[in-house]
Structure 1
Amino acid sequence: MEKLNPTPGSIVTCRRRQWVVLPSKLEDVIRLRPLSGNEDEIAGIYRELGLEAIESATFPLPQGDRVQDHCAALLLMDAARLLLRSGAGPFRCLGRLSLRPRPYQVVPLLMALRLETVRLLIADDVGIGKTIESGLIARELLDRGEAKRLVVLCPPHLCDQWQQELREKFHIDAIVVRSGTASKLERGVPNGSHIFSYYRHLIVSLDYAKAERRRASFITHCPDLVIVDEAHTCTRPGSKSTSQQQRHQLIEQIAKKQDRHVLLLTATPHSGIEESFLSLLGLLQSEFEHLSLDRLTKEERDKLASHFVQRRRADVKLWLGNETPFPERESQEQPYKLSKEYRELFEDVYNFARGLVKTTTQEMSYAQRRGRYWSALALIRCVMSSPAAAVATLSKQIGSRGAGVGSREIEDSPLDEELMSSYVYDPTEQEQSVDAQPTVAVEQGQQTYRDADRRQLKAFIQAAEKLRGDRDLKLQSCIAIVESLLKEGMNPILWCRYIATANYVADALKQKLEKKGSQIRVIAITGELSEDEREIRLEELKSYPQRVLVATDCLSEGVNLQSHFSAVLHYDLPWNPNRLEQREGRIDRYGQPVSKVKSCLLYGQDNPVDGAVLEVLIRKAVQIHKTLGITVPVPMDSTTVSEAVFKSLFDRATDAVQLSLLDLLEDEDSAVEQVHKSWDKAVEREKASRTRFAQRTIKPEDVERELIDSDEILGNERDVERFVQSACSSLNLGLIEKKQGWLLPTPPEFLQPLLSNGRAGVPPDISCVGNKSRLLTFTTPALEGVEYVGRNHPLVEALARYILEDALENAKDPKAARCGFTTTDAVLKRTTLLLLRLRHLLDSHKHQTLLAEECAVVGFTGSPSDPIWLSPQEAMSLLQQATPVSDVPQAMKQMELQELLNRITELEPDLELFARERSHELSQSHRRVRAITKEGQIQVKPQLPMDILGVYILQPGQRKRT
């Protein structure tokens, strides 16, 4: 019986309501979705049990006595169209997005669809939109049924951001698994299930998953689609980095499953070390690890190019024409001079540090000599960061450490160079930055300190204590710069190396700026805070009209801060130029609402260490970025680069006063010169790489055409704005136009449950909760304090669902019209418009049958028995633009409409022909895209009969003259 075996796309009756049958992978389960299109109410009915009767049904025709005006007709069309999720176009994902991707962001999706199993490295420059690009791929694979479950592996501080991005932009609800959430989640998992298999979509901290006791279970239950963010932290390390080695092993084992989709995301795929980069490529295809990148054959280059996309902003701008979604970056240097007292402290500390390095003896082991070296660098770095960092570092270390040099009690334990580097330098290949004071590094050297050395450290502490406030000219310069930026209307981020420095700077700025009545807020966010605490503080800060964020590098990688900040100040110069771009990339990125952002480098004009870092590393990095539009990492690990600079300082200077950069650069074969030569070679290689993998074979106009076609089916930003305004007006929720957007008053009680509940699995506090007014915009990027409303925003979804369900129930006084009669001067002959909802079945060899839907408007003049059809474009234009010029009695409208409805079956042959023509047009659209993706062809078949949502008569008339 058909009622037991309905075909996908057909309409059935069950549980005293009507449903659309959806494709089902289980033969004994019939999947049903309500006619309104509400996916949250999808139900599964077991055939074998026979407990619930399923019977064939037809879509109900409108009722002729329910006649509304023309605006109500347009409202119904918009509601039906904006509720579409499984769009009929070649990109299934677009119906579930709350953003309109730029054409260049679709390129990785097209590349992914070319691959039987998606293995892709997306290495676009900082701020171009790798999250959007990977989200598009994930959404498309899920909607096609080519992936069932998703996991994002990322550093712990990015988990919440990923959760928000997936939920708000891609309609994907994922749970976060990291050390702070795992216990609670495990309590909700039924016996016999595992946390990694029970939840459909996951966001897991790389740190959490790579742990020895969890790695095997994660790999066992790992989803079939894996996104690895900040993938450069997962390369095979050249050093003895245990943590990085564990991350690499985890991803390597995940990638061994040949049919698992893997997306690797990083703005810096090539750390400059060839072996590390090849190990990253090897995660895509094992053979890539053995490539010789300088001698690729054409076949090797083409194969690699199919798995690797890497574009600069200059490449992207070719796609954008006059559109400029990226801000202009204005960079400047801000010098200051050390006060007399600070200069004296620096000279004393430098000479002491240099002495530690120079006075090693043969009695000292290698580990002890290296310990003194790390101790020397840590002393210099913390003292030049701030008096607070100096005091915090040294105060805990002054104590008896046993006998001095030569004592048998000194243990020759191996030195953890990776640990020392994390405290002193700025390695970017670690999963989390270390911003604690370099106490551990100073402690290493103290094993060989004499009593005189310890007395010297105590003197340094006393001197540093006296430098706080007015005698710290670095701090005073910073305050002046921040005040200037705030006056310009900018909200700055101050980047500090150590926790103590960040808190010290934040306290000073609070005293200066947070006066009574001030609307300025200063907050410090550092690694001493948990992920949740950081999020709370950041949200608090965002609520203030003017704000200053003082942060360590715990926020410098991957975190999106462009919506609320527009300037950066490097309070401490990074000793790794890669870190510079990571910091500035937090605000200089896609979605920044202001046209110009500022970057300020604060450095000591008479501080030789700042001068060395600036001249040798930072200025060269800045110049490379200006020239190429990208960051090129130094082709050595961070320890090697920094040691090249500071070894030269220690070797050549007799005291701090005589330090000179000329000494560093005078020798052609100096360590610094070697760094620069290697760096220049890396720049040339990167130029070639970016040209080779910029994916210029895909044309912007080809992608734009398909996006425009999808806009016609699903609605664009203007359609969303029109619908929300009209819907709010019909519900007496009139939006109030403001300078920066539209003010939405508190919604009525009947709408609040839809708004508060949001989508299934979305907590109420992050949906568009209807308990307060809010400022809205329908275009991106949204200005600060203004909420962007796209087609999948909870407000749009709630309004559309309410209006469509209200109309389909044929209530006495529906808000939207299924029947309309309008006298208008837009037509010269009586014209009938039909609002249709079409369903198509998509069949291909690659995935199961899919159900796609779209709305269309058709129109004709004449009678139903002999219609003269308008083009779809003409019909749509009339529905959107026809306005009434006069009116006729309600009884006449009802009579005319009922007569038309009685003859609607006469149109069935023509409507069936239209459905087949539309399926053919969609086939051509799929064919065009598949010519790019090189996928197998797809068949698009109409599912008949289509739904007649609305019937509207346009009667010719003339506007009354006044």
Structure 2
Amino acid sequence: MVLSFSPGDLVRARGREWVTLPAPREGVLALRPLSGNENDVVVLAPSLEISSVEAARFDLPEDARSTVQAKAALLADALRLTLRRGAGPFRSAAQLAFEPRTYQLVPLLMALRLQVPRLLIADDVGIGKTIEAGLILREFMDRGEVDSFSVLCPPHLVDQWIIELKDRFGVDAVPVTSGSAARLERNLPLAQTLFDAYPYTVVSLDYIKAEKRREGFARACPDFVIVDEAHACVGTHKGKQQRFELLQGLARDPERRIIMLTATPHSGDEEAFARLLSLIDQDFGTLDFDSARYRERLARHFVQRRRVDLVEGDWHEDRSFPKHETTEHAYRLSPEHLAFQEAVLDYCLSVVSKAGEQKRDQRLAFWGTLALMRCVGSSPAAALSALRNRAANEADRLEPQIYDEDGDDEDAVDIEPSMAFSDDPALRALIDQASGLLEANDPKLDALVSALKPLIKSGANPVVFCRYLATADHVKAGLRKAFPKLIIESVTGELTPDERRDRVAEMALEDKEEGAQRILVATDCLSEGINLQQLFDTVVHYDLSWNPTRHQQREGRVDRFGQPAELVRSIMMFSPDSAIDGAVLDVILRKAEEIRKATGVTVPLPDERGPVTHALMCAMMLRRGGHKQLTLDLRLEDGTKVMEARWRDASENEKKSRARFAQNAMKPSEVAPEWDKVRSLLGSPEDTRLFVERAMSRFGVPLEKKRNVYIAHVHALQQSLKEKLEQRGLEKSVRLAAAEPAPSGTSLLTRTHPLTASLAESLVEASLDQEALPDLGVGRVGAWPTAAVSAMTRVALLRVRYKLTIHGRKEQLLLAEEAALVALQGKSIVATGEDVRDMLSTPATADLATIARDRMINAAKAELPDLLAGPLAAFVEQRAAELVEDHARLRTAAGSISRVSVEAVLPPDVIGLFVLMPGEM
């Protein structure tokens, strides 16, 4: 007879007991050892086994080893920490390597309430959109509803997604880019696509948008897709049109789950916003934005929170974000630098005046002037590079470079632009003048050193953003002379994305002495793609960004969720002697700040840059003086007015959008209680810390505490455990943080941390297998007197298994597990959960004589069958009913019934049985 097994059943195969897991296909069994972890899973075909696979029971053995109170409490904590397949509505909670903030759970709850989740998450920069999307993905994976996915993102974000998925969610994905796709496809069968072979992928939008790949991807695309920087997929630009066509094709499948992320969903462009929303539901692209009925319908799919909403509103949590202090640091130019600026500006304006009436010639002259003046304001090194660069094919690239608007498919360009001016003696004289300044004292660099000295003294770790590569090299050399004891590196476009990430990581490794400080000099190639909050807490804008969005992106690398510092500083450097600095501050940055204060977000510059160019030229000429007639001749005042009017219109549209679509449908009181239930079952971060402290002491290697950091000397642990940790990447001494944000050089100590998991698994294994770590003496039965009880109380440590059935598009039968503590007096349950944990953790008041201890243990064992058939079975059934209610409450969508049913597997596994006797304090 062939037996049929389902997830949660116990079986005996290959001489040991296993618990069955969801099988990958019919005809095979996926099995996990009862004393093992998720990495010990095997898949076997019963028909091919030498010995048949049989049903099994998990009984408390007659010769179960006895233990003492402290080890019994440790075993209870270890069991709770080993379980990964949660039974509650947040099934993924046990798999997370961090403690999510309450507000970050809102998109997950919204997704759970939709038949086919399609969301636009439009939270501000630094709030944690990646985390919010990852929570949705991990939850649906653990519910068995997602077995493959693709993240679509700009190429510079691919590596960041790979790292975040692995480090925070335990998901190993492969990158699909122009550089990796051919390698991944090599040796695949003709009938198998890359996405069949690799179900978890992070895909470069730049690579996949091409028409020859777009169609193939549409056919092979998983039915769960995350789209990062979704605003880059709508618009008139050719690349954006290609992306939109790609997403539009994917969205035609009504069953495909799509989670889109953007910090700038609207930006004053209602047409682009409507196109973005049409990817959620085609109707959303045409419905009336002002309709209350439309807003109510959209609110189920759209969530948008500003930083201020989470810092000051109902969602406020202590230390969700650091405070942000912004200052301006003015410096004066030396006579030599001022003379050079005047000479360059005179030269540029002479070129502008000769441009004639042709609009294209005027535009090229304007762009050339602004580009060169920007290099002059950056550094003599950047100016010299630009003056010497005579490439003739750069004219069409000047405008986007000026406004820091690099293409969506490429990194920020930090090479100095070539000029559209012809070579002549006056230009050669400027080159000689710039060469001379390289040997002179640099007042801007001196001002930077002056601004950094008090910050460094206070313990700050700054990132200095420069616009050009030559400037970054110049600044790095100057700072190394000024601060010889600090770790100072630079990251520029000369490095590949991998080399940039490695350079930043190496700075953390170099920080071997506690309190060592670092300065990073970077160009805007680092303003996206690599988060810097763990290493740096200050941003210096050595060169002002001419793009408010880029300006915010720079600061967002440091000022974001997970920043351990309580205060983040940003400093804008400028010279009142500089015509270009003043023009940019007045025309762009200060106006952008006014708009940000009014709307709560940064609104990009209007798409049409002609008026902005005119406004900057006007401001620069008027600051310079003596060129009013030229200003009038070119009618530049009109440009200033047009630019301000269009930016004001965009700002008003953004404010209207915020008022229409602000996410107010969900309150903290709806979210927090659900997560609190999870924490009580899985343990809080503090519970995890206490467990690791106690376990390391039990293994003879106590944690060493230094300030807010714990050091685990894992190299001193016994050989079997040390080898297990080495396999998980832990060697020598490991620096741990007990709470987020984790300081630089530490890892957050969570229930999924390799140290926590290895200790917990080893303790459970030692209790179940007497030959495993016998010196620990961790047993499954015990008896002792304690002040925690006033009558004889029996405590059962249970591992409870449930069969969860997800009634969705396809029915899924899943295994769920919980650790439970139940206290009984006679046949009545008197306490459960944390109350029993407190009983078990209360120290014994005395040692019992061996004969007395054994008598009480044997009496408890004798009554165990009746308890399992009676009160313990009732407890497990009641818990299953509660789980059904919990799932129903979270999964209900538009009045539908629960989509989850829960069946308890009886009897529960008795991991431990302990007798507590009344004892005096």
Q: CA deviation at 1:67?
A: 0.8
Q: Is the 8 A contact 2:615 2:637 kept in 1?
A: no
Amino acid at match of 1:308: F
Match of residue 829, structure 1, among 784, 791, 796: 791
Q: Is the 8 A contact 1:838 1:853 kept in 2?
A: yes
Matched with 2:865 is: 905
Amino acid at match of 2:681: I
Which deviates more from structure 2 when the two are superposed, residues 50-59 or residues 499-508?
A: 50-59
- Alignment RMSD (CA, Å): 2.8
In the alignment, the residues of structure 2 paired with residue 726 and residue 679 of structure 1 have an alpha-carbon distance, to the nearest angstrom, of: 60
Instruction: Give a deviation string over 1:80-128, Cα, whole Å, max 9, x none.
Output: 1112211111111112111121111110111112222222111101111
In the alignment, the residues of structure 2 paired with residue 868 and residue 508 of structure 1 have an alpha-carbon distance, to the nearest angstrom, of: 76
Match of residue 881, structure 1, among 841, 849, 874: 841
Q: Is the 8 A contact 2:790 2:918 kept in 1?
A: yes
Matched with 1:308 is: 302
Match of residue 727, structure 2, among 747, 750, 757: 757
Matched with 1:895 is: 855
Which deviates more from structure 2 when the two are superposed, residues 943-952 or residues 812-821?
A: 812-821
Q: Is the 8 A contact 2:364 2:395 kept in 1?
A: no
Match of residue 336, structure 1, among 311, 323, 331: 331
In the alignment, the residues of structure 2 paired with residue 390 and residue 427 of structure 1 have an alpha-carbon distance, to the nearest angstrom, of: 20
Amino acid at match of 1:458: R
Q: CA deviation at 1:134?
A: 0.5
Matched with 1:956 is: 918
Instruction: Give a deviation string over 1:317-346, Cα, whole Å, max 9, x none.
Output: 334445232111111111112222222222
Q: Is the 8 A contact 1:309 1:695 kept in 2?
A: yes
Q: Is the 8 A contact 2:617 2:636 kept in 1?
A: no
In the alignment, the residues of structure 1 paired with residue 54 and residue 784 of structure 2 have an alpha-carbon distance, to the nearest angstrom, of: 37
In the alignment, the residues of structure 2 paired with residue 386 and residue 147 of structure 1 have an alpha-carbon distance, to the nearest angstrom, of: 52
Q: Is the 8 A contact 2:73 2:837 kept in 1?
A: no
Matched with 1:325 is: 320
Matched with 2:535 is: 564
Which deviates more from structure 2 when the two are superposed, residues 608-617 or residues 182-191?
A: 182-191
- The verdict on how the C-alpha distance between 1:66 and 1:188 changes in structure 2, with shifts beyond 3 A counting, is farther
- Aligned residue-pair number: 906
Within-5 A mapping of 1:107-122: 107-122=106-121
Match of residue 914, structure 1, among 872, 875, 878: 875
Tell me whether 1:375 sits opposite 2:368 in the alignment: yes
Tell me whether 1:871 sits opposite 2:831 in the alignment: yes
Instruction: Give a deviation string over 1:797-816, Cα, whole Å, max 9, x none.
Output: 11112221221113455553
- The verdict on how the C-alpha distance between 1:782 and 1:895 changes in structure 2, with shifts beyond 3 A counting, is same
- Give structure 2 stretches of 5+ with no counterpart: none
Within-5 A mapping of 1:234-383: 234-237=233-236, 241-293=237-289, 296-317=290-311, 318-321=313-316, 323-361=318-356, 370-383=363-376
2:18 is paired with a residue whose SS is strand
Matched with 2:545 is: 574
In the alignment, the residues of structure 2 paired with residue 320 and residue 880 of structure 1 have an alpha-carbon distance, to the nearest angstrom, of: 36
Amino acid at match of 2:533: Q
Matched with 2:887 is: 926
Matched with 1:645 is: 615
Tell me whether 1:131 sits opposite 2:130 in the alignment: yes
Within-5 A mapping of 1:450-461: 453-461=423-431
Amino acid at match of 1:927: A
Tell me whether 1:797 sits opposite 2:763 in the alignment: no
Q: Is the 8 A contact 2:65 2:781 kept in 1?
A: yes
Q: Is the 8 A contact 2:612 2:640 kept in 1?
A: no
TM-score (norm 2): 0.93
Within-5 A mapping of 1:777-788: 777-788=737-748
Instruction: Give a deviation string over 1:56-90, Cα, whole Å, max 9, x none.
Output: 10013144551111111111111111122111111
Matched with 2:807 is: 845
Q: CA deviation at 1:311?
A: 0.5
Q: Is the 8 A contact 2:793 2:825 kept in 1?
A: yes
In the alignment, the residues of structure 2 paired with residue 389 and residue 477 of structure 1 have an alpha-carbon distance, to the nearest angstrom, of: 18
Matched with 2:171 is: 172
In the alignment, the residues of structure 1 paired with residue 111 and residue 627 of structure 2 have an alpha-carbon distance, to the nearest angstrom, of: 54
Q: Is the 8 A contact 2:696 2:702 kept in 1?
A: yes
Within-5 A mapping of 1:445-844: 445-446=420-421, 449=422, 453-468=423-438, 470-514=440-484, 518=485, 520-542=486-508, 543-544=510-511, 545-634=516-605, 636-637=606-607, 639-640=609-610, 642-649=612-619, 653=622, 656-658=624-626, 670-747=638-715, 748=717, 749-758=719-728, 769-811=729-771, 813-844=775-806
Q: Is the 8 A contact 1:730 1:815 kept in 2?
A: no
Q: Is the 8 A contact 1:163 1:175 kept in 2?
A: yes
Match of residue 904, structure 2, among 928, 938, 942: 942
Q: CA deviation at 1:291?
A: 4.1
- The verdict on how the C-alpha distance between 1:936 and 1:23 changes in structure 2, with shifts beyond 3 A counting, is farther
Q: Is the 8 A contact 1:734 1:744 kept in 2?
A: yes
In the alignment, the residues of structure 2 paired with residue 597 and residue 700 of structure 1 have an alpha-carbon distance, to the nearest angstrom, of: 27
Which deviates more from structure 2 when the two are superposed, residues 423-432 or residues 337-346?
A: 423-432
Matched with 1:859 is: 823
Matched with 1:762 is: none
In the alignment, the residues of structure 1 paired with residue 912 and residue 72 of structure 2 have an alpha-carbon distance, to the nearest angstrom, of: 7
In the alignment, the residues of structure 2 paired with residue 887 and residue 124 of structure 1 have an alpha-carbon distance, to the nearest angstrom, of: 58
- Give structure 1 stretches of 5+ with no counterpart: 402-412, 759-768
Q: CA deviation at 1:884?
A: 0.8
Q: CA deviation at 1:917?
A: 0.8
Q: CA deviation at 1:679?
A: 2.9
In the alignment, the residues of structure 1 paired with residue 600 and residue 840 of structure 2 have an alpha-carbon distance, to the nearest angstrom, of: 44
In the alignment, the residues of structure 2 paired with residue 455 and residue 815 of structure 1 have an alpha-carbon distance, to the nearest angstrom, of: 89
- The verdict on how the C-alpha distance between 1:119 and 1:493 changes in structure 2, with shifts beyond 3 A counting, is same
Q: CA deviation at 1:841?
A: 1.9
- The verdict on how the C-alpha distance between 1:272 and 1:355 changes in structure 2, with shifts beyond 3 A counting, is farther
In the alignment, the residues of structure 2 paired with residue 936 and residue 393 of structure 1 have an alpha-carbon distance, to the nearest angstrom, of: 67
- The verdict on how the C-alpha distance between 1:37 and 1:236 changes in structure 2, with shifts beyond 3 A counting, is farther
% same residue: 39
Within-5 A mapping of 1:175-194: 175-187=174-186, 189=188, 192-194=191-193
Q: CA deviation at 1:611?
A: 0.8
- The verdict on how the C-alpha distance between 1:816 and 1:313 changes in structure 2, with shifts beyond 3 A counting, is farther
In the alignment, the residues of structure 2 paired with residue 420 and residue 245 of structure 1 have an alpha-carbon distance, to the nearest angstrom, of: 23
Q: Is the 8 A contact 1:838 1:946 kept in 2?
A: yes
- The verdict on how the C-alpha distance between 1:429 and 1:397 changes in structure 2, with shifts beyond 3 A counting, is closer
In the alignment, the residues of structure 2 paired with residue 395 and residue 538 of structure 1 have an alpha-carbon distance, to the nearest angstrom, of: 32
TM-score (norm 1): 0.89
Matched with 2:380 is: 387
Matched with 1:408 is: none
Amino acid at match of 2:304: Q
Instruction: Give a deviation string over 1:256-299, Cα, whole Å, max 9, x none.
Output: 33322221111122233333222222222233333454xx3222
Q: Is the 8 A contact 2:124 2:307 kept in 1?
A: yes
In the alignment, the residues of structure 1 paired with residue 559 and residue 307 of structure 2 have an alpha-carbon distance, to the nearest angstrom, of: 11
Q: Is the 8 A contact 1:87 1:713 kept in 2?
A: no
Amino acid at match of 1:83: T
Which deviates more from structure 2 when the two are superposed, residues 683-692 or residues 588-597?
A: 683-692
Q: CA deviation at 1:430?
A: 2.4
